[in-house]
Structure 1
Amino acid sequence: MPEREPLAPAVAATRLAVRRALAPYAGGAVVAGVSGGADSLALAAALAFEAPALGIAAVSVTVDHGLQAGSDAAARDAAEACRAMGLEARIARVEVAGPGGPEAAARRARLDALRAAAAQVGARAVLLAHTLDDQAETVLLGLARGSGATSLAGMSPARRDPDGLTWLRPLLGLRRGDTVAACAAQHLAPWQDPHNADEAFARVRVRRSVLPLLEAELGPGVAEALARTADQLREDDEAFRDMIDETIEDIVEHAEAGIAVSVAALAANPAALRHRVIRHVVASEFGVSLTRTQTLEVGRLVTDWAGQGPIDLPGCRATRSGGMVVFAARA
């Protein structure tokens, strides 16, 4: 009897990560986003191996954004690779449009397509192939934007939407080199997305220049350190969100064309919580995000008010009225 070829460490690591993520969904259905790149092919291969043992119906979805020549052929190749592994494979062709530039619009279209596919097959979870390297890049980009702890917290390994759909990132603890090695060990040929080499995109510059420079100048382990930072900040962010949820109903009330927040309650809280409440109220009521400068200006209506007038914000206006800060829609 011939000896079995030993399992490559990278293949074992991807399978273990996917097995742990899938455990709560035994007997159900899941969807995986598969672009055809090394990360998503390694995810698909691990999913194809682990899902049958858990009685899970696994479906791969390749989203064709139509943003470059040959994208339809690349989508077909990715779907065929998934079918060869034993997965049910689908292709979703989407239109990329809307605010925020092509990257943001493509991301929205991709997530919408994955959500629609999950609804069609009755899946409670969608698997995404982000790795530790993606997490480190996200933290660095958030740091450069000065976006605060929420952005620096990066991507969550599991995020549950209000409708119950959960977005899973089982490979978030693995390096990109692990997924490349897993593909090589399983004789999978990843698609090389030209966008991943286009330095017009900030993320590509971080990937190809900034992170390697940091590793060269500061020593190895920078990506892992950034990922650990994201984990710690995510814990802090979740704690703040819980505190806001517990207190928000007691300090806000409806106002004409908007919402009002108690000055006394805001002033009684530390600045970190006070500013988060302000951002949360504006985001929830008007669907916009405040910058740090805008948040601080609103905060001055609480802590440093000397009769100053209304503050114009995106989509609304903040005004001090007696013991309340009133956020009202702008005409």
Structure 2
Amino acid sequence: MARVDPALAAARAAVRAELGDLARSGELSPGGLVLVACSGGADSLALAAAAALERTRVGRSVRAPGFAVRVGAVVVDHGMQAGSADVAAQAAARCRDLGLDPVLVRGVRVDAGPGSTGPEGAARAARYAALDGAAEETGAVAVLLGHTLDDQAESVLLGLARGSGARSLAGMPRRRGRYVRPFLGLRRAQTEAVCAAVGVPYWTDPTNLLPDDGAAPGGGVPARTRVRGAVVPVLEAELGPGVVEALARTADQLRDDADVLDALAAELLAAATVALSDTQPTGVRPASDSTRDRGELSDVQLTGARPASDSGLVLDAGPLAAAPAAVRRRALRSAALAVGCPPGATTARHVDALDALVVSWRGQGAVHLPGDARALRACGRLYLRPAEPEPARAAHPPAPTPPLEE
């Protein structure tokens, strides 16, 4: 009996479980298409190999023979390194050699200019846009991503270093929408062993390597690379080889907690949202004949029932102030995102300023939010307004603001 490579067996079992879940949920049926996002690295090529081997036995059990599905691949060329087109072409060829079909190569433009979340964030956004487009074009029911246990641990460490909250420390979910990560329980060394077992050469991204000239990490080296090459080895040497697994367990536990808190925050935000017909403040003592002091809100066309592109949000400060801080702050962050604040740029400092409008109101002025949004308090309510379109901003003078609270 031929010996089964343990790394390959683990990879196949991980893919089998995820494809089985898709089948049991009814999303994946015989002949359905699943795509693998492949960069040409060990993680994604190991995933492609395991998916290719499991494609004919989806849902197999002692009671059912299983069925066959199609497995394809999407290779995204970010165009950020010399020779990236050749790397993408080689990755596509290896996917075809593994039997994947269709295999798509998508070139993207990475906009890392002012206002972006940096080169890594901009590349990520461009990559997911390309993957979404490929899935919609081909009718794929899922896109498999090759993130590993090591990637998960690195995400937790980066979140800790940045002072992020529980949602960020929760790392990457096994599934979000069409995206599935079968390898979150596998180490990176296992994916390299899978490639060796199936005889597939893989590419190593030079940005994932620390300088070998003795220079201290930093400078142009991405933060994730520094964590991978310098921080994790020290932690494992000093604290033991189970550090990566422990960090991943922490992410799983925090994700469960964050899911509950996010659900409570969504309920709070819905309860605090004021309907458009109720946004006119009442009971404000006129202080002058100005439009502002008469309490007119012609500049604030806000409602919680419309998308941010239409208007903004009006929130009752009372229910927010009465809620636990962990729930309230999540609700306020969600409100900021709803009026167009970029998630990556909306930090704890911005949430602190919004929270102060609720629990530390001292007559302070408007809060400036990312994406040129604004928030202010008047008459016991918070008004969150998205950025005005450029033509409107240029054509009209600044509009009056809601009346100051007594």
Task: Give TM-score, length-normalised by structure 1.
Answer: 0.93
1:280-291 matches, within 5 Å, as 280-289=334-343, 290-291=346-347
Shift of 1:127: 0.3
**Counterpart contact for 1:135–1:155, Cα < 8 Å:** yes
1:214 aligns with 2:235: yes
Amino acid at match of 1:285: V
* Alignment-mate amino acid for residue 75 of structure 1: A
Per-residue Cα deviation, 1:32-56 (whole angstroms, up to 9, x for no partner): 1111111011100000000122321
Match of 1:309 among 351, 365, 369: 365
Tell me by how many angstroms 1:209 deviates. 0.2
> Higher strand fraction: Structure 1 or Structure 2?
1
Q: Which moved more, 1:101-110 or 1:288-297?
A: 288-297
2:252 aligned residue: 231
Please state if 1:268 is matched with 2:265: no
Tell me: CA distance 1:250–1:129, structure 2 relative to 1, closer, same or farther (3 Å): same
Q: Is residue 241 from structure 1 mapped to residue 262 from structure 2 by the alignment?
A: yes
* Structure ID, larger Rg: 2
Task: Within 5 Å, give how 1:53-202 maps onto structure 2.
Answer: 53-54=57-58, 55-88=68-101, 89-98=103-112, 99-160=116-177, 166-198=178-210, 200-202=221-223
Matched to 2:380, the amino acid is G
Contact 1:62 1:91 in 2 (8 A): yes
- What is the aligned-residue RMSD (CA, Å)? 1.6
Deviations 1:249-287 (A, max 9, x none): 221124524322111101111000111111110111223
2:28 is aligned with 1:31: no
How far 1:207 moved relative to its partner? 0.2
CA distance in 2 between partners of 1:151 and 1:302 (Å): 24
The worse-fitting range, judged by mean Cα deviation, of 121-130 and 19-28 is 19-28
| Segment drifting more, 252-261 vs 133-142 | 252-261
1:19 paired with 2:16, answer yes
2:379 aligned partner: 322
Structure with a larger share of its residues in helix? 1
How far off is 1:73 after superposition?
Answer: 1.8
CA distances 1:13-35 after superposition (whole Å, capped 9, x unpaired): 00000011112224211111111
Alignment length (residue pairs): 323
Is the 1:61–1:91 contact (alpha carbons within 8 Å) kept by the matching residues of 2? yes
**What displacement does 1:121 show?**
1.4
Give the percent of matched residue pairs that are identical in Structure 1 and Structure 2: 48
Measure the CA separation in 1 of the matches of 2:93 and 2:357.
Answer: 59
1:163 paired residue number: none
The runs of 5 or more residues in structure 2 that have no matched partner are 23-27, 59-67, 211-216, 280-299, 302-311, 388-397, 399-406
**What are the Cα deviations for residues 285-320 of structure 1, in whole angstroms up to 9, with x where unaligned?**
223343212212221222222323322222222222
User: The residue matched to 1:296 in structure 2 has which SS?
Assistant: helix
Matched ranges for 1:286-297 at <5 A: 286-289=340-343, 290-297=346-353
Structure 1 residues 203, 319: CA separation in 2 closer, same or farther (over 3 Å shift)?
Answer: same
Q: Which stretch of the first structure deviates more once superposed, 4-13 or 302-311? A: 302-311
Q: Which deviates more, 128-137 or 281-290?
A: 281-290
Note the C-alpha offset of 1:226.
Answer: 0.8
Which of structures 1 and 2 has the larger relative contact order (alpha carbons within 8 angstroms, sep 6+)? 1
What is the distance in 2 between the residues matched to 1:246 and 1:293? 23
